[in-house]
Every structure is written in structure tokens, then in C-alpha cells.
Amino acid sequence: METQMSNVKYDEEFIVNSRGVKLFTCRWVPTSSEPKALIFLCHGYGMECSISMRGCASRLVKAGYEVHGIDCEGHGKSSGLQGLISNFDDLVDDLSEHFTNISERRENRNKMRIIMGESMGGAMVLRLHRKKPEFWDGAVLIAPMCKIADDVRPSPLVIKILIALARIIPTWKLTPTPDIIDIAFRDPQVVKEVSLPFIVLHGEDDKVTDPSVSKTLYESAQSSDKTFKLYPGMWHSLSYGELPENLDTVFSDMVNWLDNRFAARNAQLEEQQKFANDNSVLEIK
């Protein structure tokens, strides 16, 4: 289905993954100019790109970026038991395949590729980067779930009970699966392997994911181009759950970061073109 809005084309379609699961996908494309870059959205647990991240996508497309989203299995409009994640890596593989297919289309091959994730989606971004370290040109991490905040982290006993319940009643949406617990609690070391340009944004009063871990990500990552933004008085859902003035602040920082990378990429391409032209002139002489 395709919809034409003011200077924006929105369309959606269902695809089928390698496991035969039908997944909902959507995209927002600016129509008034060539897209600056491709941005791929990774949503949080129990959320979806089609609804909860629509506001985020709308702001980004108005800033000149082409935005693609996909509802993970068991989320949003995609098939699967709601909230059930049997294997986290299966979801990451679905995202990787879909995003790679889009990136390799002829019209997209020379465009920057940015992955953006919020909460659990931030963990997905780190996994996507780990799968293809050289493929992505940058990442935007919003309150990434590298570790759940200690204030809301269950005790070891409760975690064992939840894991047992997840095995007995895997379709109970309120029961986190062992895989999610593993991702949230036991995989913080992947931050040291992060090498791509990134910005991480976190609310100082976040009670779901731990802001101090985002700071550790910033300090520990190998990346030479990295930015950390901590927002006093803000909570977990920075892209849609804050006051309008707070959302404006967050998206201003986000778009400025994206625009600066786009400008740097353009300058690099222009320099390469100039070098190629100069060599051509020398060969003619």
C-alpha cells in the first residue's frame, strides 16, 4: 500500500522470512529531494515501527532522510505470538537480510546506511554491527538495552523463576524469555567491539535501561567518531514519550549528528572525484 503525503511517500508491504513468518515492513521517502541517506529502524520490545516509531520516522524524513522499518516477529503487524521471542538472533537475522536487500538495490548502493535502535532495538543495532562490521556507516542508539537498570532488574531468584515460567508458558507475553534476559544482562562486552561512528542518547532518569552503561559504551567503544548525550530530567522513551520541547531537543541533536556525517561523506566523495579528475588530466597531458 502506498500513500502520498506532503513531500513524503509512505508505503508498506509484507515479506516472508526464511522461517516462513510474514513480517510487516514500511518506508518513508522524501519526494522533494534526493534522500541524504538510508536510515533503518530497530524497535523496542513490545513496540513496532509502524506505530510507536512513526513519529520518529516522520521527523527524519522531513529532515531529508529515507527511513525503513520492519516489525519483528511477534510484534506489531507481523505474524507470530505477540511478545514471544524464541531466539533473539533470528530477529537480528531478519533485520539484517531485509536491510541488506534494500541497501543493495541499484538506486541505494551509493547512499549512506545508518542503523537506529531504541531500547531492545539498540541491542539489535549492536548485533547488526557485529555481524557486518564494515557494512554500516553509522548508528543512532536511543537508550540502548545493553543492560537493564539495577532499579528494575529482578533479583537472581526472580530471574530463575521467570526463566522457568518462560519455558513452561512461552506464550505468556508478560514473561521475558531466557534469550531476552541473556541479551540484557550478560552481553555488555560487545560494546568494546563497536567501531562505527555512533551517537548514543539517554535520559538521565531512565528507569528501564541503565544510563551508566551507555556512558560505558561511549567510553569503551573503539570508534574514533562517537558522541554521548545525557538528558537531565528525561526518561526512557526519548523518541516518542517525552514532552514536545524535550522531543525537539532530542531530534535536533539527532538530526545535527546525521547532517554532519552526511556533509563529511559528501566532502570525502568530492575530494575523491577531484583526485580522479586531476589524474585524468595528467594522463591526457
* pLDDT digit string, tens, across residues 114-143: 999 999 899 899 989 999 999 999 999 999
Yes or no: say if 29 and 5 are a contact pair by the CB < 8 Å rule: no
Element spanning 128, H or E: helix 120-131
**What residues does 117 pair with on adjacent strands?**
42, 141
pLDDT of 59 above 50: yes
pLDDT at 176: 47
pTM: 0.84
pLDDT of 170 above 80: no
184 falls in which pLDDT band (50, 70, 90)? Answer: very low
Pairwise pLDDT comparison (22 vs 175), residue with the higher score = 22
- What angle do the packed helices 88-103 and 120-131 form, to 10 degrees? 60
Yes or no: say if 22 and 78 are a contact pair by the CB < 8 Å rule: yes
Instruction: Report the chain's mean pLDDT, rounded to a whole number.
Output: 84
Q: Which domains does the chain have, with CATH numbers?
A: 2-149+188-279 (3.40.50.1820)
3-state SS assignment for residue 50: coil
pLDDT at 175: 43
Yes or no: say if 256 and 227 are a contact pair by the CB < 8 Å rule: no
Pairwise pLDDT comparison (202 vs 165), residue with the higher score = 202
155 falls in which pLDDT band (50, 70, 90)? Answer: low
- Averaged over 88-97, what is the pLDDT? 94
Burial classification of residue 285, based on how many CB atoms lie within 10 Å of its CB (0-12 exposed, 13-18 middle, 19 or more buried): exposed
pLDDT at 31: 94
pLDDT of 73 above 90: yes
146 falls in which pLDDT band (50, 70, 90)? Answer: confident
In the chain, the amino acid numbered 6 is S
Could you tell me which of 26, 126, 131 has the C-alpha nearest to residue 69?
Answer: 26
> What percentage of the chain carries pLDDT values higher than 70?
79
pLDDT of 102 above 80: yes
Distance CA 14, CA 10 (A): 14
End-to-end CA gap in the chain: 55
Handedness of CA 58, 60, 61, 67 (dihedral sign): negative
Residues in the chain, how many?
285
pLDDT in tens, 228-252: 999 999 999 899 889 999 999 999 9
Residue 277 CA: distances (Å) to CA of 267, 274, 281:
15, 5, 6
Q: How far is CA 52 from the centre of its chain?
A: 13
Could you tell me which of 14, 65, 44 has the C-alpha nearest to residue 148?
Answer: 44
